[in-house]
Structures are given as C-alpha cells and as structure tokens.
Amino acid sequence: MTTQSAVVSSLEPVEGTAVIHAGDYINKLSGEQIEHECKRKLDEGCTELILNFADTEIVNSIGISILLGVIDTASNKGAKVVFSDMNETTVELFEMLGLTKHVTLA
C-alpha cells in the first residue's frame, strides 16, 4: 500500500459548500491537513463541508480524534458536515465510534 498525504482539494460545487478529499490514510499529518483546510473554508463562510473518503483505506485513532474536532468546530459555526464515499469498513468504524451521529452520510 502506498501512503499518500491527504489530497485536500476544495471545490465549491454549490455556494457555501466545500469538498475536501481525504487521502488513503488518515493519521496525524493528513488529519491536520484536513482540519486546516476545513477551518479555512469555515472562516471563508462555508456552511457545508463535504469530506470525501473515496480513497481512504485506513483511519487511525489520531485521525478519528481530529475528525471529531472538525465536526465540533463546524457545529460551533453552524455548519453541516457530510461524509461521502466511504467504504464499508470506514462506515462501520465511524458508526461504532459514534461519528455518524453527528454528520450526514452521502
């Protein structure tokens, strides 16, 4: 498995929406990149963050913690968080840890 850092590209398909593409392994480094980009987009006035996990194979505990922080920050700013294109293993992990209670799945 090749590990790539988070590919954090933001597209605004709809005004107020940002799409953040996570890399294949969400750990401390890639999680911090995702967190930074999400905060930047929220500061720019985005009201919806879509985190695309299409390429994500592994999320470690630090990555989970960072994602919880992103959810909390977005919630405090009144923004919606959507997790999209997750594989079955990631969905099961996020459900088991309770992340899916605080986001919309697409």
pLDDT confidence of residue 95: 96
pLDDT confidence of residue 6: 52
- Give a yes or no: residue 57 inside a domain: yes
pLDDT confidence of residue 12: 44
- Give a yes or no: residue 54 inside a domain: yes
User: Which residues in the chain come in under a pLDDT of 70?
Assistant: 1-13
- Domain span at residue 33 reads 24-77
pLDDT confidence of residue 15: 83
pLDDT confidence of residue 13: 55
pTM, entire model: 0.86
Structural domain count, the chain:
1
pLDDT confidence of residue 10: 46
- Give a yes or no: residue 93 inside a domain: no
Angle at 54 between CA 25 and CA 5, to 5 degrees: 30
| Cα distance from N-terminal residue to C-terminal residue, the chain | 26
